[in-house]
Homo-oligomer: A and B are copies of this chain.
Amino acid sequence: MIKIGIVGGTGYTGVELLRLLAQHPEAHVEVITSRSEAGQRVVDMYPNLRGHYDALTFSVPDAKTLGACDVVFFATPHGVAHSLAAELLDAGTRIIDLSADFRLQDAQEWARWYGQPHGAPDLLPQAVYGLPEVNREAMRDARLIAVPGCYPTAVQLGLVPLLEQGLADPGQIIADCKSGVSGAGRGANVGSLFCEAGESMKAYGVPGHRHLPEIRQGLQRAAGEVVGLTFVPHLTPMVRGIHATLYARVADRSVDLQALFEQRYAAEPCVDVMPAGSTPETRSVRGANMCRMAVHRPQDGDLVVVLSVIDNLVKGASGQAVQGMNIAFGMEETLGIAHPALLP
């Protein structure tokens, strides 16, 4: 049994982590922290967990208790993992960070986008970007995993096959992404109200969203060169799901893109390349640790359209975090996260 701690477990990625870990045969959640809810029972806040975590109570974060865990998940706003990571690592505890704290390798870039200095630049060398499909080897035995963001997961998985092969013009990548409202978290913001986000669609963050540098970093790693990326996220009236519609120019129209994608992901348990002509629905991955995608070249032109869908809370956050834990601890990679999506 792996002893697990969760820091900041009151948000949506926290409750989703608990849901997934409840089905994981090797996981036991020892401690879950929340300053604001300390003393409250987890199941009083999340009744869906009644019967699964009846004895678990939110506690004030405490390095000693956390340090006694084998692994600690951070489901916190940015900045928190920066301040606690070193101490936990010293205690021999592994860290799987669902926040943005260790996703960017460049501390300057991080500071620019997050508006504050990077709090733990010396830990960056050991931070491993936790996208198994591109970085699995580095994740084995990793002690500090930075779980990718939701948009970055959907976008990178959809574009990496093209960029790795040098097939797409790296200067003209467009990612038009649609996200369910849970991506905005459980904070009490007017913009996330049912009556604000419901029955409506809008773009946001057009001048620059914090996931942009993360996506660009990943695409550049795959392409081996500078990537020109336009990223436009949209708020969609659904709870879960990201639909990334990706546009790239290909010079060589003779390439069999369907075969390329199928081969690239043939051995991947959490990526599903759908048959040619498919249009994946976000609900086909609801609750599942899966990225489904389809590749199109409309009217046989030079523009490739990749459709890539994930559940932002699972493959885009908590599920991918568990996948990372499984890899880091040498367990079966899909242990506890192999169940099918909930449809309808």
A194 interface neighbour in B197, B202, B243, Cβ under 8 Å: B197
Minimum C-beta distance from A152 to chain B (A):
17
Minimum C-beta distance from A48 to chain B (A):
4
Minimum C-beta distance from A294 to chain B (A):
8
Chain B neighbourhood of A44, CB < 8 A? 275
Nearest residue (CB) in B for A49 is: B340
Check if B343 sits within 8 Å of A174, measured CB to CB: no
Nearest residue (CB) in B for A303 is: B230
Check if A48 sits within 8 Å of B285, measured CB to CB: yes
Check if A200 sits within 8 Å of B283, measured CB to CB: yes
Minimum C-beta distance from A24 to chain B (A):
11
Q: Which of A305-344 contact B (CB under 8 A)?
A: 305, 307, 309, 339-344
Check if B200 sits within 8 Å of A193, measured CB to CB: no
Instruction: Render A216-227 as a binary contact track against B, CB cut-off 8 A, 1 for contact.
Output: 000000000000
Cα distance, A48 to B314, chains bound together (Å): 14
A238 interface neighbour in B199, B245, B282, Cβ under 8 Å: B199
Cα distance, A46 to B283, chains bound together (Å): 10
Check if B247 sits within 8 Å of A22, measured CB to CB: no
Instruction: Render A189-205 as a binary contact track against B, CB cut-off 8 A, 1 for contact.
Output: 11011111111111110
Q: Which of A145-173 contact B (CB under 8 A)?
A: none
Chain B neighbourhood of A288, CB < 8 A? 48
Chain B neighbourhood of A239, CB < 8 A? 194-195, 198-199, 344
Check if A50 sits within 8 Å of B292, measured CB to CB: yes
Chain B neighbourhood of A189, CB < 8 A? 188
Check if B15 sits within 8 Å of A343, measured CB to CB: yes
Check if A340 sits within 8 Å of B48, measured CB to CB: yes
Nearest residue (CB) in B for A313 is: B344
Check if B234 sits within 8 Å of A243, measured CB to CB: yes
Chain B neighbourhood of A292, CB < 8 A? 47, 50
Q: Which of A229-243 contact B (CB under 8 A)?
A: 230-232, 234, 236-241, 243
Minimum C-beta distance from A57 to chain B (A):
15
Cα distance, A19 to B19, chains bound together (Å): 17
Known: A47-B281, A199-B239, A241-B200. A190 touches B186 (CB 8 A): yes
Give me 14 other A-B pairs in contact (C-beta within 8 A), A19-B342, A192-B194 excluded. Answer: A47-B278, A48-B343, A178-B201, A178-B234, A180-B195, A181-B195, A182-B195, A186-B193, A188-B189, A201-B241, A202-B307, A206-B305, A207-B296, A234-B245
Would you mind naming 15 contact pairs between A and B with Cβ atoms under 8 Å apart? A18-B340, A48-B283, A48-B284, A52-B340, A181-B194, A194-B196, A194-B239, A199-B239, A201-B281, A202-B309, A207-B277, A208-B299, A234-B243, A240-B344, A287-B342
The 7 closest A-B pairs by CB, nearest first: A200-B283, A48-B341, A48-B343, A195-B344, A202-B281, A181-B194, A176-B176
